[in-house]
Chain A
Amino acid sequence: MRDLAGPDELLTRECVHFCRYLVDRAPDEAILRTWRRVQAHLPAHPSDRNLSDQWLLRLGRRGGMGLRLADAWSRLFCPATLLRRKLILAAAVLESSRGTAPLVQAGPVTPGWRALPGIGMAGLSLAGWTVLAVLLLGPVHLLRIRGRRTVDRG
């Protein structure tokens, strides 16, 4: 799953995937500019060089279902992982940017108690993706740890 893209291309690609993931919209030029600018200030974390964190980031950068699973897994087991911090940064950029701010700040409003099914669905989705992440990424994670131990033993 090694990625041979250059840093700029990687940043653009992750920004596109993260924006689509969060607000179903591709980023415009202004958001892409902001995304590149804010990377320099993304704080470092001891786990950034961790192979597991790098694997989650690579999985997330592919977008789609892999991104959602990696996100759910990260939130549950390692909320400060680089992927998760980048996603929080993406949410911050989107809520502060022209065009996308309303998509983050206020979703559609269903009046009265008719709102409940929508909220229930969102809760179920949250729980469902978390369970799926544990079921699908858990074994992969265990295999990777086991593989690393085997390599360490020589």
Chain B
Amino acid sequence: MADLLVVGSGASGVHFALTALQRGHRVTMLDVGHPRPDIPAPDIAFPDLPEALDDPAAWFLGPGGEQVVYPGDASSYYGHPPSKAYVFRPVPGTPTRSDAMVPLFTFARGGFAEAWTAGCYAFSPTDLTGMPVTSEDLRPHYQEVARRIGIGGVEDDLAPFIPLDAEYLPPLPFDPHSAHLMARYARRRAILHRRHRFFLGRSRVATLTADRDDRRACSQLGRCLWGCPSRSIYTPSQTLERCETFPGFRYRPGLLVRRFEYDGDGRIGQVVAQPVDGGPLLAVAADAVILAAGALGSSRIVLESVAHRTGTAPRLEGLMDNRQIHMPFVTPGMLGTAPMLAAYQFHHLAFAVSRNPATDHVHGQITTLKAASVHPILAGIPGDLRSALHLFQGVRSSLGIANVNLHDTRRSTSYLTLDSTGDGAPCLVVHYDPAPEEPARMAAATRDVRRALRRIGSWVLPGLVRVLPMGASVHYAGTLPMTLDPTPLAVDRSCRSWDFPNLHVVDGAVLPRLPAKNLTFTLMANAVRVATTAF
């Protein structure tokens, strides 16, 4: 049985660790691990929260109103609430410089998926084209992750794009607006398939519809964005708690791993970490190191390790992310219905627009407006705020947003490297170069989704479509890719480094291409695969 050192407690790290522990290995997990604050008034629904909280404005907006979204400073229609600020809280000693991309970092216990919208979309055989792993390789591990976290979904028109290879829970009940859209789609299905190549179905989400252990079924409190008080929405910190029940597991928060140190054969002897609250660097010995700090975090560690030994930082090429487009819409058929303020807040519907070649398909989610911070929406309405408020209240129940994802491919012109010329810690340089054909793909996707939504009775609001800055989707990938043949600064199909024989990488860095969908489910399944097959 090996002593495994896992770096990072995100979705990949905790599922790797749990599998390794179940197989009898000892696991030490090093992590910065900002903890989640307590969730107040856990049984109170969103509309009643202002009455129930001592200082509701501080809870919703931050003590000084830090989370208010002002005109001109938002590329999104919602900001992260103060209760999720811990997910994005930085740590000293991680300077970053970027162009054409706004990278986000997390040092939270549980990683980015502590603030996700729970979408679980298995990669199809088409999505895995050109990758060293196949659907057959991943299938049993998708099934294992689905058993662990609980995913709702049904066999529907999305099955060719999002395989349903695992056991799924019954999906959440629709809100009236989502039900309306689905009914319209059912009536116009043939023409939507034939003319628009548009396929609609239920989102696959890791949100429980039945109690499981200490997690309760979704009780429709409408507090998803602020942090689910009933733990219905899966987050990796739940799996971390499960890891902590194993005697062979040791969780060491408060440590920022800077680098690993290796000998002439590339064999790692120790990992060097910096205590985040000060103090000298700490060396931790390890038989095997598993990097699961996210594509940017793991890449930074590899870069600092190589730079520390050789004096020069290499380039890690192939950085990818999904470009996202937000398309707000109004559904006239829903006018005059009461807004749903206490309801599951995230998306019920997902869609795919097929393309030729099939690897270029577009994927997205449709979220109807339920509970929300409304001031960013009011700020966007072109008119005085009083009229805007009345107009918004009149149409609120008919509003929604389509979140369109585009795929990405590795290019040598998008890369990570280090700049060590400053006095302090080396600066991570993030350079992203969009694909030349991206503007055409964005225009085509926007046009196709707009037309398809029109067919199901929804009008995209003119002038309000927003292309999010690259980096906003937080689906970073591709900087230490899986390859079949030995390649410097890459990993083999078991995600073992070609350069460092006792190093494995299990996060998004290993993906050699990025389909147009959330990658978290695949990262969890791949981490389980690596823990099962390589150890």
Contacts and interface: CB of A to CB of B under 8 A. Distances in A.
Q: Enumerate the 3 nearest inter-chain pairs by beta-carbon distance, A residue then B residue, closest first.
A: A107-B393, A38-B65, A126-B383
Nearest to B372: A105
A130 to B, nearest CB: 5
Interface string B68-94: 111111000000000000000000000
B436 to A, nearest CB: 33
Contacts of A107: 389-390, 393-394
Most buried by A among B51, B64, B70, B382: B70
Interface in A58-91: 68, 71-72, 75-76, 79-80, 84-85, 87-89, 91
B374 interface: yes
A130 B375 contact: no
Interface string B36-65: 000000000001001100011111111111
A43 B69 CA distance: 11
B387 interface: yes
Contacts, number: 162
Nearest to B58: A34
Given A41-B65, A71-B385, A105 B374 contact: yes
A11 interface: no
Chain A interface residue number, banded: 35 or more
8 contacts: A21-B386, A38-B61, A79-B72, A95-B60, A110-B336, A112-B336, A113-B336, A126-B387
Given A96-B50, A115-B336, A130-B384, A79 B379 contact: yes
B391 interface: yes
Given A96-B60, A107-B390, A91 B385 contact: yes
Nearest to B52: A98
Interface residues of B, number: 48
Contact of A41 (B57, B66, B383): B66
A126 B384 contact: yes
A82 to B, nearest CB: 11
Interface of B: 47, 50-51, 55-66, 68-73, 335-339, 341, 373-375, 378-379, 381-391, 393-397
A92 B65 contact: yes
Given A88-B68, A116-B335, A129 B383 contact: yes
Q: Chain A contact residues: over half helix, strand or loop, or mixed? A: helix
B525 to A, nearest CB: 39
A42 interface: yes
A109 B395 contact: no
B389 A91 contact: yes
Contacts of A97: 50, 56-57
B362 to A, nearest CB: 31
